[in-house]
Chain A
Amino acid sequence: MSLAREGDRRALARLLSSIENGETVLETKIDPSDEWKILALTGPPGVGKSCLLDRLLHVWTGKGMRIGVLAVDPSSPRSGGALLGDRVRMTVVDHPEKKDYVYVRSVATRKSSGSVPSVVQEMAACLLMTGWDRVIIETVGAGQSEVRCAAVADRIVLIEGPARGDGVQAEKAGLLELADAILVNKSDLPGAERHANELRESLQLGNGTPPEVQLVSALKGDGIDEAATLLMGLRQTSRAERARWRERILSHHERQILNHSEFNTILTNLEEGLIGFDEAYTKLRDANE
């Protein structure tokens, strides 16, 4: 930890692995302050989360902010392996002046369900303890009901794109209700403006102050400076406090079960019909109490 704090990136990378593998456990605390420390960027696959994040990182690091990035990609439910490709989009890590201000780490979901594994919370805490000012979590491409990122992040930014369905889609419940801001990417394509308007109309109907909806184009660079400023100053919209706590409890519970020393044995026994579901679940649950 002390080496990582002094700027030894290899020591930091190793420390993060050891947290990810459950060999080091960090205490995490939830910081209720006005300024966020951990922000989740989420949204459907292919809307441009990685490219947009790269653009934003260029702006933030250019202002001297030190940003840690945890980019999550899915693990194969069959082999457990993963192809982690978010880094391909990151040009900021090659920029001679900016690369020292950014640390990008690819993370696989491993056994977790949801768009962010709960261990990411500890990994983010580790980055904050080792001298990184803010942490951005880029989630797996996430669907309408993927709200697990609320468990690990102080703020949630939803990335949308044009041609994402008609006005009814914007009325649907789920992730949209938890977002603290929404960026509609690919504003260079037709339909982006209309989609942004539909989202704004829908959000006006909710309680409290509706979140900002901004148009951006990661491809052309339009609206990036404005988005970078908006995100950095993002306040808690507190529309989601109850949902956050619910996700935190669920996420913690899932982690407890996944970390059970006999989890794999119990799965194999179930697969081979040696034990029933009730027995398996009781075993996993009781050992945690």
Chain B
Amino acid sequence: MRKAINLEINGKKQALEIEPNTLLLDLLRMDVGLTGTKEGCGEGVCGSCTVMVGNELVRSCLTLAMQVDGKTVTTIEGLADGATLHPLQRKFLEHGAVQCGFCSPGLIVTAKALLESNSDPSEAEIRDAIRGNFCRCTGYVKIIEAILAAAAELRSAANA
């Protein structure tokens, strides 16, 4: 039996009717058409499905959409400000942290949450924060460089 839910996704209000067995990931990808968030494993391990609910990271492939009723969701599509990329997005590009790119949305959202709670993370802290984001291509080296660079840029913008 379909149930009504209301959420705000990337600042836009959405009213939907869904089956209770709808996962947040499928709601985003199929009902709302935001395919930036990916399914890599379906069991919450690889991190490709990571989004934010409120200001917390969650695994959208293991989150019932019903439980997000009345909440705000931020996906990768919500990071850029119009045509202006978020510093994380820019640094990922400039540092070659994107190869096949499938892990990138989940990683960038995870990094965003990290930098919101820790504006000057060490490499070890970054590795710990992204430990649940699997990347098959990059070996994580340039991803970490990019996050450090984005953190530096965000700090100097905040200090300016």
A and B pair up: no
